[in-house]
Structure 1
Amino acid sequence: MTTPLTLDRDGIARRIPHSGSMCLLDRLQAWDADAIHCTTHSHTQVDNPLRTASGLMAPNLIEYAAQAMALHGGLLAPEGAEPSAGFLASARNVRFAVERFDDIAGDLQVHARRLSGDARQVLYEFAVNDGEGRSLAEGRAVVVLNTPLASLTE
């Protein structure tokens, strides 16, 4: 995987629809037309918006992966384009190796690979690992793009 640029958290926030503390990714490490790799330590932040009284539960790792997918789409978009509207339509074959992840030391490694897609939807596979390469979560996700919710129910 090659990358013509790296981005910090502010650069990422300009390319995805999430802002403030809801922008969970800290650094773009690498990307190409098919895949993206990001890192973050936001899971260690006491004010993480996904944190509950029980901590950060494993299903929230899907949101980390979804933000990497959103960033990938933003990087593939024409220069200066606004972040595209999209939503996670489904997550399948998801496997979690932990119950919670706020106690994971070091950065999370967030990977997503585009498997197929068009202007309306994209299929990604994703993996989130700890800094030592141990799998925390993996699966597949469908992201629906630029589609008003009303048209999905008609």
Structure 2
Amino acid sequence: MCLLDAVKEWSDSAIACRASSHTDPANPLRAEGRLGAANGIEYAAQAMAIHGALIAGDDAAPRQGYLTSVRSVSLHVARLDDLPGELDVHAERLSGDANNILYQFSLSHAGRCLLEGRAAVVLDASALG
């Protein structure tokens, strides 16, 4: 399930994406026809995954990542499906090493912040023993 439409820009430390799938009645995250704002965390997680692949480069083997925690999440709206047009999805790498990464993320619409928080990602969890 790919929720993002495109990468707008990226660097070694951050990524900005756009999405319109929140308006799709067939969005698999909808419940009873609605897409709650907390589902925006999945949009951010997909941006983080794309960011990891982009900074790894073409020659690197894909690495499976796991979202291990989200913290300091603030939801500023109740739902996403009633917003026309595109969502802006941002993720910024705050710290990390080869296997553990801390991101700050946000979703916005027409310049208004919809949700924000931090997420910890573990890559190659089996290597942690």
* TM interval, short-chain normalised: over 0.9
SS of the residue 1:62 aligns to: helix
Alignment CA distance shift 1:82-1:103 (3 Å): farther
TM-score by length of 1: 0.80
Change (3 A) 1:48 1:80: farther
Match of 2:119 in 1: 141
Deviations 1:102-128 (CA, angstroms, capped at 9, x unpaired): 001110000000000111110000010
Percent identical residues? 52
Q: Is 1:26 aligned with 2:5?
A: yes
1:148 shift after superposition = 2.0
AA aligned to 1:148 is S
Q: Counterparts in 2 of 1:42-121, with a 5 A limit?
A: 42-121=21-100
TM-score by length of 2: 0.95
Give structure 1 stretches of 5+ with no counterpart: 1-21
Q: 1:89 corresponds to which letter in structure 2?
A: T
Higher relative contact order (CA 8 A, sep 6+): 2
Structure ranking higher in strand proportion: 2
- Specify the SS of the correspondent of 1:69: helix
CA RMSD of aligned residues (A): 1.5
- Structure 2 stretches lacking a partner, 5+ long: none
Amino acid at match of 2:115: A
Q: How many residues align?
A: 129
SS class of match (2:125): coil
